[in-house]
Every structure is written in C-alpha cells, then in structure tokens.
C-alpha cells in the first residue's frame, strides 16, 4: 500500500500525459522481461526498472482487480527518467501493441493508475458510456483526437477519474474538470458501474467548479451531436 503522504504529492503531477499512440516493440526485444504476478495469475511482463518499480505496477494492477476491473496481459517497460522515451510525458500507453505496452519514464502511483485506466477503458467502455461521460465534463471536444489539447480529450478525463477512484485515499485532481467529489464519483459510475475504492477515508476533496458550467457543457455536446474519436 502507498501512504496518504506519498499519494498526496501526486496532486502536483496531474498531468501532462499524451494519449495512447501505436508503437513498435523494438525497444522490448533488446531486453529480457521479468514475469510479474498479481495473485496466482501472471498479468505483467517487466522490462527494466527496479524491484520498487515492479511493486508499484503490481500494486496498481491489484487496485484494478480489487475494484473488479479486469486488465489484459501487458508489458510494462520502465524506460528511465528521460521523457523523450515516453513522447515527452511521464508515461504513455501503446494500445496497438500485442500485448499492450505501457511505457513509464517516471511512474508515481497516480500516473501508473492513469495509464492502466487507458488500457482498461479502451477495451471496455462503450460509445454510449463515452457520450454520457462527456456530457458531464468541461471542455471536452473529442474522445481521443491527438490534434486536440490533452485536457480536451475525453479519454484523459476518464483516466483521471478512474485513477482518482482507485487511489487508497481521495485526492485533488487538476486540469480535468469538474473535480469535486460528487462529479468524480458520478463519472466513475458511468464508466464502470461501480463506486470508488477509497478504503482509508482520506482528506476531504476540494470543491472547484469554477471552470465548469454543466448547462453549457450539455449544450456543446448537443451541438456536436456526439464526439469525435482519434482512435
């Protein structure tokens, strides 16, 4: 488990993560992966990284399992602190790779949960769920169009909401709004049909709806007649 203090630091890191982009497996072939497990079921192959890095990834996968959100087999490559390996971000997901490749340059708990949320959402969340979710969010203009700003992509809102719901303690989320507890819980329910874990209570969530006008968001969604997808 990761402490409240360690998780709270991550509020400052949320987030400048690009969307998932297809990539090759050439970087993996150069290194010998180590098998990781969650319970008795192999779920992860690791490339690089320390034992602490591997434990962090296994913790994050276990949080999804505890919430009843099944992840596919994946490779997690710890690429080192140079962000260029991750497209200039802390981490990124390459969904076109089989198995899915999660590239981590700097991977604190929230970032790891955020990336795994991309993996889960891409295989499970329906178009109808996406439409319903987008209508509750501020500033979203597409689900996954890389030409749109990070905070304007529905998948980034979804990954933030899912990661927030799977932390051990609730924390403040930045850049994707609304970020009050009621809205985050409602978004998680739309995406998963479940309620957040938050098994240690934690500190109260800050209410910041200054950047959100729900009526305007719904009008914009209606005018768009849906959302564009870059996938």
| pLDDT value, residue 108 | 81
CA neighbor of 162 nearest in space, from 94, 110, 210, 97: 110
What is the C-alpha separation between 21 and 227, in angstroms, rounded? 19
Phi and psi torsions of 69, nearest 5°: -105, 110
| pLDDT value, residue 39 | 37
CA neighbor of 194 nearest in space, from 82, 66, 31, 13: 66
Element (H, E) at 38: strand 34-38
What are the residue ranges spanned by the domains of the chain?
4-224
pTM > 0.75:
no
| Per-residue pLDDT tens listing for the chain (231 residues) | 554 434 443 433 334 333 333 333 323 333 333 334 333 343 789 999 999 999 999 999 999 999 999 999 999 999 988 888 898 899 999 999 999 999 999 878 999 999 999 999 999 999 999 999 999 999 999 999 999 999 999 999 999 999 999 998 888 888 999 999 999 999 999 999 999 998 654 443 443 444 445 555 555 555 544 444 443
What is the C-alpha separation between 80 and 70, in angstroms, rounded? 27
Distances (CA, A) of 215 to 51, 138, 139, 203: 48, 10, 12, 29
**Residues 102/115, Cβ–Cβ less than 8 Å:** yes
Phi and psi torsions of 173, nearest 5°: -105, 135
């Amino acid at each position: 488990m990761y402490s409240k203090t360690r998780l709270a630091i991550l509020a400052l890191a949320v987030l400048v993560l690009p969307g998932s982009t297809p990539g090759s497996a050439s970087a993996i072939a150069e290194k010998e992966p180590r098998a990781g497990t969650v319970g008795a079921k192999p779920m992860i192959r690791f490339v690089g990284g320390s034992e602490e890095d591997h434990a962090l990834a296994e913790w994050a996968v276990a949080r999804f399992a505890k919430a009843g959100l099944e992840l596919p087999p994946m490779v997690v490559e710890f690429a080192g602190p140079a962000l260029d390996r991750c497209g200039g971000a802390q981490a990124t997901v390459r969904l076109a790779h089989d198995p899915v490749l999660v590239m981590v340059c700097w991977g604190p708990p929230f970032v790891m949960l955020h990336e795994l949320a991309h993996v889960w959402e891409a295989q499970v969340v329906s178009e109808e769920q996406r439409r319903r979710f987008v209508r509750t969010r501020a500033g979203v203009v597409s689900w996954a169009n890389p030409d749109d700003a990070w905070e304007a992509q529905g998948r980034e809102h979804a990954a933030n909401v899912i990661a927030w719901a799977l932390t051990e303690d609730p924390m403040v989320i930045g850049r994707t709004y609304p970020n009050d507890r009621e809205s985050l819980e409602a978004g998680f329910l739309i995406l998963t049909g479940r309620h957040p874990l938050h098994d240690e209570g934690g500190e109260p969530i800050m209410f910041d709806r200054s950047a959100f006008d729900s009526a305007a968001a719904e009008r914009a969604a209606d005018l768009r007649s849906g959302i564009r997808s870059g996938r």
